[in-house]
Amino acid sequence: MSILDTFRMDGQVAVVTGSGQGIGRGIAWAFADAGCDVVLNSRRQSDLDETAAGVRERGQRALTVAGDIRDFSDHIAAATIKEFGRLDVWVNNVGGSDEKTTRTLIDTPDEVFRSQLELNLTSAFQGAKAAASNMPNGGVIINIASGAGMRGSPMTGPYAASKAGMINLTLTLALELAERDIRVNTVSPGPIATEAFLEVLGIAADLDAIASTIPLRRLGTPDDIGAAVLYLASPASSWVTGQNILVAGGRTERSYQYGGREKKK
């Protein structure tokens, strides 16, 4: 067998939440390129239809399950088993913010903080439970966190805190599920100009400035994240669990969230 063959996922079925557009769509299409059938979830059916069309163009089957991910994971898992008879990989990609205003933590209403935890962290916890209860030994769970969860994140504190919690959730799940050979890992993207990224931060005019703070001098793309997730989902990473891969063009956990505020030397 060639080393390239270990990146194939032929005959497997993967769930990707938040796959209507952006990073989730990139992950879904990467899986389809590797021979995997994909179950797609998002709130907007029209977005899911576009992602599903891309999966089918790549020769794979797609199932769309529209709905808010909160308290919805069990339904997605049941629909997956009913349609395909198996569930091998689960990607908790849903995330972001229903609140489109940035503010300091001390100015954040309690209900906004709770909402962020429910959307980003609680949903991943529920997804992991649904996945582990329905996948065979040797399955894979991947959480999509954020570089913001690895450092202080002024003005987006609730989001960053929830993503930091997701990284720790991964560490615990990896240890607890190792006896079943279920691998659990995290991918933390750096700045990627998705619709959600622009809506929350309102920085469309500053994309070049953000790119200038990245060592590789460009923003990321959904394909960059799709490639990393494919590695972690495939047999190529069969000895990798409990890890967080920061895919951020050379930024580290010590990099300031969006730069530009450091004093010039």
- Which are the catalytic amino acids? 159
DSSP assignment of 61-82: -EEEEES-STTTHHHHHHHHHH
Q: Residues for the chain: how many in total?
A: 265
Structure tokens at 148: 């913001």
Placement of tokens 């987006």 in the chain: 156
Q: Using the 8-state DSSP alphabet, how is residue 184 labeled?
A: E
Give the pairing of strands 37-42 and 244-247: unpaired
Please state at what angle helix 157-177 crosses helix 123-134, rounded to 10 degrees: 20
Asked if 122 and 70 count as a contact pair (C-beta separation under 8 A), the reply is: yes
Who's near 210: CB < 8 A, 6+ residues apart? Answer: 191, 203, 219, 258, 259
Of 133, 90, 126, nearest to 233 by C-alpha is 90
Asked if 51 and 127 count as a contact pair (C-beta separation under 8 A), the reply is: no
Phi, psi of 184 (to 5 degrees): -130, 120
Asked if 45 and 19 count as a contact pair (C-beta separation under 8 A), the reply is: no
Who's near 105: CB < 8 A, 6+ residues apart? Answer: 157, 158
Asked if 137 and 180 count as a contact pair (C-beta separation under 8 A), the reply is: yes
